[in-house]
Amino acid sequence: MPETGLPSFAADTGVTAVEPGRWSATVHEGWDIAGNANGGYLLAIAARAMAGAAERPDPVTLTAHYLSPGRPGPVEVRTSVVKSGKRFTTVQATLVAGDRPLLAVLGTFGDLAPTEGAPAPSRVDDSPPDLPPVDECVPLVPSDDAGGMPPPFARRVEIRMHPGDAGFSRGRPSGEMRLRGWFRLPDDQPLDTLALVLASDAYPPTIFNADLPVGWTPTVELTTHVRARPAAGWLRCEFTTRFVTGGFLEEDGVVWDDTGTLVAQSRQLALVPRPV
């Protein structure tokens, strides 16, 4: 537990109001992948400031465009409320390091606590991924090498991959552009809707399971929809890719909580570099 007394995810994404529309924060050590901070982690910092500006706790839909890699050190979130309505508040933001913009973000925030009264109509035409028990899944174990794989980031989250999707880490990609598995924060840290933003970008790229000459896929944009606050316990995640075309790929995520409730849906657009 860090010195703030907060669990590490909450502490490491903490923001401090400087003046209206300006929030200071720190990109902490250990959240990086090959030296660059994980995209979901950076977005969670921005989202915490935006929720503060919105005075509403939960991101309902959140889109980040990734402009420059984030490295450990001080950052600032600049927020601007575009509209505050009866149920939702929409906020534009940038996350900057010095004068360098790292993220441009647009988000709508609300309160996803369960409400009274007649529920809206619902229908679910899909189901959580069928996963072996956590103990039979494959942990993403942090590397002890600087710059090694899996990355230091793997200490900040607990990921257990479906054995059928984990072969890529031993040089045996499944051939299917899919990664399924469990997710939680270490030490039983509580899961809030900001942790869902983190979960939506925490898995290795789906393309690692394709037989394509692609080593890295920088995110251009990530959108996460939060449908509900998650129950305590492990999350079930499924990430899939259908289209690697024109130098881009999408990665679609679906996240379910331990009670079988859909809690988040995500999609990112990433670059597919040409072979060198």
Q: Which residues have C-beta within 8 Å of that of residue 137, sequence separation ≥ 6? A: 131, 160, 161, 162, 163, 166, 181, 182
Q: Any contact of residue 227 with its own copies (CB under 8 A)?
A: yes
Residue corresponding to tokens 């990109």? 27
CB-CB contact of 256 with 263 (8 Å) = yes
Q: Any contact of residue 104 with its own copies (CB under 8 A)?
A: yes
Q: Any contact of residue 133 with its own copies (CB under 8 A)?
A: no
Q: Any contact of residue 67 with its own copies (CB under 8 A)?
A: yes
Q: Which two tokens stand for residue 216?
A: 């890295």
CB-CB contact of 233 with 240 (8 Å) = no
Q: Which is nearer to its own copies, 171 or 246 (CB)?
A: 246
Q: Encode 90-116: b = buried (16+ Cβ within 10 Å), e = exposed.
A: bbebbbbbeeeebbbbbbbbbebeeee
Q: Any contact of residue 76 with its own copies (CB under 8 A)?
A: no
Q: Any contact of residue 126 with its own copies (CB under 8 A)?
A: yes
Residue in 246, 174, 238 with CA at minimum distance from that of residue 207: 174
CB-CB contact of 254 with 126 (8 Å) = yes
φ and ψ of 206, to 5 deg: -55, -30
Q: Any contact of residue 119 with its own copies (CB under 8 A)?
A: yes
Q: Which two tokens stand for residue 76?
A: 């600032």
Q: Any contact of residue 88 with its own copies (CB under 8 A)?
A: yes
Q: Which is nearer to its own copies, 95 or 202 (CB)?
A: 95
Q: Any contact of residue 209 with its own copies (CB under 8 A)?
A: no
Q: Which is nearer to its own copies, 70 or 152 (CB)?
A: 70
Calpha distance 36→269 (Å, rounded): 18
3-11, 39-47, 99-107, 130-138 -> range binding its own copies (CB under 8 A) = 99-107
Q: Any contact of residue 174 with its own copies (CB under 8 A)?
A: no
9-17, 33-41, 194-202, 205-213 -> range binding its own copies (CB under 8 A) = 205-213
Pick the binder of its own copies from 37, 131, 191, 210 (CB under 8 A): 210
Closest separation between CB of residue 256 and its own copies, Å?
Answer: 10
The three-state secondary structure class of 69 is coil
Closest separation between CB of residue 73 and its own copies, Å?
Answer: 19
Pick the binder of its own copies from 15, 27, 46, 105 (CB under 8 A): 105
Q: Any contact of residue 231 with its own copies (CB under 8 A)?
A: no
Calpha distance 175→97 (Å, rounded): 39
Interface residue list for its own copies (CB under 8 A): 60-61, 63, 65, 67-68, 82-83, 85, 88, 90, 92, 94, 101, 104-106, 108, 112, 117-126, 177, 210, 212-214, 220-221, 223, 225, 227-228, 241-248, 250, 261-262, 265, 267, 269, 272-275
